[in-house]
């Protein structure tokens, strides 16, 4: 049976991370970008690492951070994967000590195609809502007309996902979904019941439509 993977991003609370692991979440995202309201410190990240068991992926989110700093944080925290936002080229990614996924702020089909060609070594592509003010976490949905008719096998969909719209997102058959601001009481304080509802919807969808 096909299974849609789930990443919950913007995490800062170890107790909530433990609850997400119990719900079956596949990946935990932590944001290392100081302007973000969900930014966390290295010490906070280490506290989260302590409660993340084997086979759950720990992802570090970076925006135009130099490769040396990314590698240092990856080693200190024990990141399994990094998520790159910004203007990095494919040569930059080759300097990384861990695999990466490329985040794309979707404003056109051409942008998606260009980024996928440029970052052919990426393990996956996260499609998020385009905004001039933020690199993610806006709570806005991607305009459906800007998505390809068929997503590639490594596509992760983000952008304001919540219990009321998760079914619409799943109709695109993404490899995974990335959930953040759509399930928050406030930045980094997640609504665990809302995430539980999403996980139940995903499980039912996968069993019925895969």
What's the pLDDT tens digit per position in 108-165? 889 999 999 989 999 999 999 865 554 444 556 676 667 877 887 899 999 999 999 9
Residue 137: per-residue pLDDT: 47
- Using one digit for the tens of pLDDT, what is the confidence trace for 188-208? 999 999 999 999 999 999 998
Of the ranges 26-35, 100-109, 124-133, 166-175, which one carries the lowest mean pLDDT score?
124-133
Amino acid 139: pLDDT = 54
The yes-or-no answer on residue 9 being catalytic is: yes
H-only helix segments in 98-191: 109-118, 166-170
Is residue 89 part of the annotated active site? The answer reads: no
Residue 130: its pLDDT value, please? 61
DSSP assignment string, 94-112? TT-SS-EEEEEEES-HHHH
The one catalytic residue among 22, 66, 87, 128: 128
Catalytic residue among 9, 22, 178, 206: 9
Domains and CATH numbers, the chain: 5-209 (3.20.20.70)
């Amino acid at each position: 049976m096909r299974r849609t993977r789930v990443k919950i991003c913007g995490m800062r609370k170890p107790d909530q991370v433990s609850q997400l692991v119990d719900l079956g979440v596949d990946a935990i995202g932590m944001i290392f970008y100081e302007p973000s309201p969900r930014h966390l410190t290295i010490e906070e990240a280490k506290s989260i690492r302590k409660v993340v068991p084997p086979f759950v992926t720990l992802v570090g989110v970076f925006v135009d951070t130099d490769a040396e700093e990314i590698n240092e944080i990856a080693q200190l925290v024990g990141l399994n994967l990094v998520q790159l936002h910004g203007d990095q080229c494919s040569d930059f990614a080759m300097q990384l000590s861990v695999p990466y996924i490329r985040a794309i702020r979707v404003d056109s089909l051409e942008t998606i195609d260009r980024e996928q060609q440029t970052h052919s070594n990426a393990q996956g592509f996260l499609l998020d809502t385009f905004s001039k003010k933020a690199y993610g976490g806006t709570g806005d949905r991607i305009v459906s007309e800007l998505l390809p008719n068929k997503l590639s096998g490594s596509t992760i969909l983000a952008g304001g996902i919540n219990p009321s719209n998760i079914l619409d997102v799943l109709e695109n058959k993404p490899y995974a979904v990335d959930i953040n601001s759509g399930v928050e009481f406030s930045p980094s304080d997640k609504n665990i019941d809302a995430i539980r509802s999403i996980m139940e919807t995903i499980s039912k969808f996968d069993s019925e439509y895969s």
